[in-house]
Every structure is written in structure tokens, then in C-alpha cells.
Amino acid sequence: MKREIHYELNGNPVTQEVTPETLLLDAVRQWTTAPKEACGVGVCGACTVLVNDQPVSSCLYLAALVDGQTVWTADGLVQRFPRLAQSFVEHEGLQCGICTPGQFTAACALLLENPHPDEATIRHYMAGNLCRCTGYAAIVRSIHGAV
């Protein structure tokens, strides 16, 4: 049985019909390609989105829960955090693109929580996002460079 939900996605109002088991990842991918499905069990971070500025694994989060909420994906966060986006480019924090949306979204969540984190704080906060390409150093440099 489908249900209509209303939420804000990357600053734009969205009305969408979802079933009780529709995952947020599948719902937002109708509008954006930013969150990626990689592990499907909420441990890699590739599907991270912000719901009311809090990071969630969209591969586990039910779409119906965002009714009346605000959702941000990396696509929209690039506009909210242009300095961080530029720093990811300058410090080569982008590689194959699978983890990048989740890495960037988690970095935005960190900066919302702590606008001036040190390197140890960055490394600790980003530990839930897996990357096979960069070895993490470029991602840490990217975040630190935006601070």
C-alpha cells in the first residue's frame, strides 16, 4: 500500500509515493544520483545523506520517516559547502566516485557539528566511511583544507 510523503530534498519540496518498505536511498535516487549503494547493510558510508542535518545510512532508513523532514545529499551540499567542495578537488579527495558522495556528506555533517575540527577529530569522525582508492589521507587533507 503506497503512501504520499512530503519532504524537502536539497532545498526543494518533494512529494512522492512510497511503500512502507521503500528505502530512503531508493526514494532520493529518483531525484539525484549522489548517494551510492555499496554494502547495502549500513557500514560503508557510501549512501550517507543528512536528515535534518544528521547523517543517516539511506540504505537502511525508511523513506516514510522523512515525511515533513529535510534531506540533503552530496548534490545539494556542494552548494551549501562550496569551500569544502573546492578543497576536495584541490586536495584530490575524489577518486572513483563510489564513496565520494558519502565522504562529502559525512564531512559536511562534521563541519555542521564542529566547524574547526583538528586532524584527529576528522579521522575519528570519518572512520565510518570506507574508501579503497585514496588511503584516506587525501580525504582528511580535503576536509582540513576547508577548515
Residue with the three cell numbers 500500500: 1
Domain with CATH 1.10.150.120 in the chain: 76-146
Domain with CATH 3.10.20.30 in the chain: 3-73
CATH 3.20.20.105 fits 76-146, yes or no: no
Q: What is the pTM of this model?
A: 0.94
Rounded to 5°, angle at Cα 125 from 25 and 105: 35
pLDDT at 96: 83
The contacts of residue 17 (CB under 8 Å, 6+ apart) are 2, 3, 4, 5
Say which CATH topology domain 3-73 has: Ubiquitin-like (UB roll) (3.10.20)
- pLDDT, one tens digit per residue, over 101-126 is 999 999 999 999 999 999 999 999 99
